[in-house]
């Protein structure tokens, strides 16, 4: 019975019904069961699963049909959270960015606490022509810099999109890499270099 209840609870959270679930007596019972049956291990904590911020609550409440006015307000609030590089330098080292794009580790129960997180970019995007194993949930980023150019507007947009994707697409599947502290500022700079550097395999 405990296994069944826990499975139901996890299903509710995974399918985006967390806010609604927690507001009912059954939901409260399921949350209590989760807290009883599972313990934090490594970087994967119960706090990350149960404590939603304003974006997660809104997206759980409106998984498919968020009103336009609320969507625009959510995006505007998230754009304000973006922290641009204090030194004004947006690009790091593309070779390091490629390593981050290939690395899918980080924030899982099997990972080390305070270990180095990856971006796992290839799970959703095509980047380099030579890499044949990539996902298609997100758009292809191959030749990104060559096609977009390196003007200030596109560079700042790209930084903000990586830092907090919800600033432009409410309830986006893309992780909020900077906002959620998945990647450091230096790591984001390296990923930016992967996208914009003329010598990067992305732009070949």
What is the model's pLDDT at position 29? 82
Asked whether the predicted pLDDT for residue 16 surpasses 60, the reply is: no
Higher local confidence (pLDDT), 106 or 196: 196
What is the model's pLDDT at position 74? 95
Q: Quote the CA–CA distance of 59 and 68 in Å, as a whole number.
A: 13
Locate 59 and state its tokens: 């997206």
User: Please, what is the average pLDDT of the chain?
Assistant: 86
Q: Which of 82, 83, 175 is nearest to 123 (CA)?
A: 175
Asked whether the predicted pLDDT for residue 172 surpasses 90, the reply is: yes
> What digits encode the pLDDT tens for the residues 87-115?
999 999 999 999 999 999 887 777 777 77
Higher local confidence (pLDDT), 153 or 42: 153
pTM beyond 0.85: the answer is no
What is the model's pLDDT at position 35? 72
Give me the torsion for CA of 128, 129, 130, 134, rounded to 10°: 70
> What digits encode the pLDDT tens for the residues 123-170?
999 999 988 889 999 999 999 999 999 999 999 999 999 999 999 999
What are the structural domain ranges in the chain? 2-66, 94-203
Class of domain 94-203: mainly alpha
3-state secondary structure the chain: CHHHHHHHHHHHHHCCCHHHHHCCHHHHHHHHHHHHHCCCECCECHHHHHCCCHHHHHHHHCCCCCCHHHHHHHHHHHHCCCCCCCCCCCCCCHHHHHHHHHCCCCCCCCCCCCCCCCCCHHHCCCCCCCCCCCCCCCCCCCCHHHHHCCCHHHHHHHHHHHHCHHHCCCCCCCCCCCCCCCCCHHHHHHHHHHHHCCCCHHHC
């Amino acid at each position: 019975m405990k296994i069944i209840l826990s499975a139901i609870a996890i299903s509710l959270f995974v399918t985006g019904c967390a806010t609604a679930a927690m507001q009912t007596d059954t939901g409260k019972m399921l949350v209590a069961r989760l807290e009883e049956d599972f313990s934090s291990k490594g970087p994967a904590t119960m706090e990350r699963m149960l404590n939603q911020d304003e974006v997660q609550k809104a997206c759980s409440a409106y998984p498919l049909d968020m009103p336009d006015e609320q969507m625009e307000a959510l995006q505007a609030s998230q754009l304000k959270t973006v922290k641009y590089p204090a030194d004004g330098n947006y690009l790091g080292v593309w070779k390091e960015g490629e390593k981050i794009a290939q690395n899918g580790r980080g924030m899982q129960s099997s990972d080390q606490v305070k270990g180095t997180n990856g971006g796992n970019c290839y799970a959703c995007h095509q980047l380099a022509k030579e890499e044949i194993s990539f996902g298609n949930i997100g758009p292809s980023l191959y030749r990104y810099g060559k096609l977009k150019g390196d003007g200030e507007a596109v560079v700042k947009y790209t930084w903000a999109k990586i830092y907090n994707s919800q600033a432009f697409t409410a309830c986006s599947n893309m992780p909020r890499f900077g906002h959620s502290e998945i990647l450091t500022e230096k790591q984001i700079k390296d990923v930016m270099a992967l996208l914009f550097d003329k010598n990067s395999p992305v732009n070949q």
